[in-house]
Structure formats: C-alpha cells, structure tokens
Amino acid sequence: MQEVVLENEYIDIIKKSDYILFNIKADINLETFIIIKNIEYLKNITNMISSNILFDNEIIKKKKVYLIKKDNSIFNIYQSDNFITIEVKTKYKNDFINEYIIEINKIKEKYKIINMKHDNNYSTYYIGEYNSENSYDNYFKMNRYEALKIFKNVISKLSEINSIDEIIDLVDLFYYLYDKEYKLDNKCNVILNMTLF
C-alpha cells in the first residue's frame, strides 16, 4: 500500500504501510520548509521529522529521510554514501522523552552514539555521548559498553518493523559497529554474543 501525501517541486511525502518517505528533492531554505511544515494536513508527518537529521547548518539539503512510528517511538533514518544517521525518540506516560542518536561515518569508519533525556517541557536534563574517534575528550562522556547497549537496543527495535529491509540493511549495520569492537573486552562480548539474527 502506498499513498502520495504531497508531491511538489521541493518535497515528496509518500506513506507506505510501515513507514513514511520524506523525500527532499532539492535544497530548500528554512522559510520554505516552514510553509510546508505548517500545511494543516501535513503537521502530523512534519512534526515527526528531526531537525538534527533535517538541517545542515540553516539549509535543508537534498536527501531522503525515512520516518517510522511504532508504539510510543518515532524513528528517523537517513543515509548517504558517507553517513548513516538514526534517531529514536520514545515518549513515556509521564511525557518524558528518551532520545537516541546514532551517527556513522562510513568513510572514516567512526561512529558516535548519543543519549539525551528530556522532561515534559522538552528541557534536556541528561546528555551522554560516546565518540569512537575521540572517546576521551568528551565532556558528556558515555562508556563504550553503554553505547553498544544503546546500539543493540536500537537495532532490536528496528528489527521489529516489517519493511525495515526496504530502508536499511540491519545485518550490515549491526556488523558495521560490532566488528570493530568485538575483541576489545569481555563486557562488550556479553552483548555481542546475544545474536539478533
């Protein structure tokens, strides 16, 4: 099943059974995006898209972003020849929000995993970050073990989505990080040996 929600010179929005494709066909500025975002019948969709993934400085560049809503979580997935970004926001009954961001630089073979927690006013009260490129220089440091647990959790949630293989190859993604970490220590191996596939 496929429904074209919007099709214009800038953006196509296509609804499929398990996800929404937000296809930005040309670079657009913030003003143009705000006009599109405020179209009444699009608000439910445009509110799902993450500004972290959407913006490159103050420009929205040509890209495809996949939006998935499952239970109380919203997933944003973007990949190019050089990068993969996955963001997951989960809202709890008390309106608190847990946010995971996974950024993979395929060229450098480095990655960053971020966990942020927001209260019901969207004030951020916790930030943890693990950066494989400079894991010792980070003020909001998260250890590698916690980072890989988050990554595993995100992969596990994505694996429950029926059409995920149309968006991203989870097996490649899984081994992309774990192959580089596999022999480092026993704590990591506890997680790594819990095979998902």
Of 91, 82, 116, nearest to 101 by C-alpha is: 116
Range 47-56 average pLDDT: 88
- Is the model's pLDDT at 73 over the cut of 80? yes
pLDDT value at residue 14: 95
What mean pLDDT is reported for the chain? Answer: 84
pLDDT tens profile 95-118: 899 999 999 988 888 889 999 999
Q: How far apart are CA 169 and CA 106, in angstroms?
A: 14
Place of tokens 């997933």: 75
Token pair belonging to 127: 């930030």
User: Which pLDDT belongs to residue 171?
Assistant: 74
With 50 as the cut, is the pLDDT of residue 187 above it? Answer: no
**Averaged pLDDT for residues 8-21:** 92
Provide the pLDDT for residue 188: 44
The residue among 177 and 89 whose pLDDT is bigger is 89
Judged against a pLDDT cut of 90, whether residue 22 lies above it is answered with: yes
Sign of the C-alpha dihedral, residues 162, 165, 189, 83?
negative
Q: What is the pTM assigned to this prediction?
A: 0.85
- pLDDT band with cut points at 50, 70 and 90 for residue 150: very high
**Integer Cα distance of 37 and 192 in angstroms:** 41
Of the pLDDT bands very low, low, confident and very high (cuts 50, 70, 90), residue 38 is: confident
Give the mean pLDDT of 49-65. Answer: 88
Range 157-177 average pLDDT: 83
Top-ranked range on mean pLDDT: pick from 84-88, 123-127, 170-174, 177-181:
84-88
